[in-house]
Every structure is written in structure tokens, then in C-alpha cells.
Amino acid sequence: MGNPRKANGARRRHVVRWLRSQGRPCWICGLPIDYGVPAGDPRAFECDELVPVSRGGSPFDRDNVAAAHRCCNNWRRARSVAEVSAVRSALAARRAAWNSPETFVALCKALKDDRASVIGPPSVPDKQPRATTSW
């Protein structure tokens, strides 16, 4: 089937130009984007689909795109908006602070590794003694 973002290149370029002209901060980490950084740099602007194409989102719908840093978008992959919001909330609850997108991504990865202490201990079923019967 191919990449739907490339199926209609002119339409996609138009959406990306429109989004770039907005000058918005990264929707994932919340930090400003330097729109002059060249593509490929971790801090470069990327057009991110809020509902990923892999989950049926449109790469051409202006309501489905948001500005993101390349490294934040790479970390996000196909996570839902709700999942990203939950991670940001968990970081905020820990009073985590970030001043760069790379730091944000590192905190997100550390949070995943340390998930049990952030979210709480995993639920373990109560260990009830089994009823035994003697025949």
C-alpha cells in the first residue's frame, strides 16, 4: 500500500507548511521549537499526526496534526494522545522539570523503567490459602 503521507505529496507539503507557519511549541514536551533547525536534528520541527496514520489518522487533516520536535515524535511513535498526557502527568506528579526535548525524552524513558515506583506497586492478587480437601 505504501506510505499514505507520500500518496499525495502536494497536499501533505501544504499541511506541513501551514503547521510550520503557526510557530507552535511541541505538543509533546511543551517546549518551543526552533523552526530554523535543519531536518534530521533531534530538535527539528516535525509534523506529527495526533491519531497516528498506523491507527487510521489522516496525514492531511489540519485537526489531526501538531508540531513536535523530532526526538519527541520519535519517542511517541504510535502512542495515543491520552498515553502522552498520562506520561506528562506522571512526570509532573514527580515534579520533574525539563528544559530541552532531549531531557524530556530521557525522563520519559526513565519513567518507563521506574514505572512501578511512579504508578505504584503492581497489583498482586491476594494470596488466599487454597481450600484443601482430604478425601
Q: Is 134 helix (H, G, I), strand (E, B) or coil?
A: coil
Per residue in 44-103, pLDDT tens? Answer: 999 999 998 888 899 999 999 999 999 999 999 989 999 999 999 999 999 999 999 999
| Domain presence at residue 125 | no
Alpha helices in 3-134 (DSSP H): 4-7, 9-22, 70-76, 81-93, 101-113, 115-119
> What would the grid cell of residue 105 be?
525524552
| Domain presence at residue 11 | yes
- Which residues constitute the domain of residue 25? 4-113
| Domain presence at residue 121 | no
Per residue in 103-128, pLDDT tens? Answer: 999 999 999 887 544 443 333 444 44
Evaluate if residue 1 carries a pLDDT over 60: no
What's the pTM? 0.79
Per residue in 8-50, pLDDT tens? Answer: 678 999 999 999 999 999 999 999 999 999 999 999 999 999 9
Measure CA 122 to chain center.
Answer: 24
What sign has the CA pseudo-torsion 81, 88, 117, 119?
Answer: negative
CA distance 73 to 46: 7
Per the structure, the count of domains in the chain is: 1
Cell numbers 505529496 correspond to 9
Q: CB count, 10 Å around CB of 68?
A: 28
For residue 70, the domain's CATH number is 1.10.30
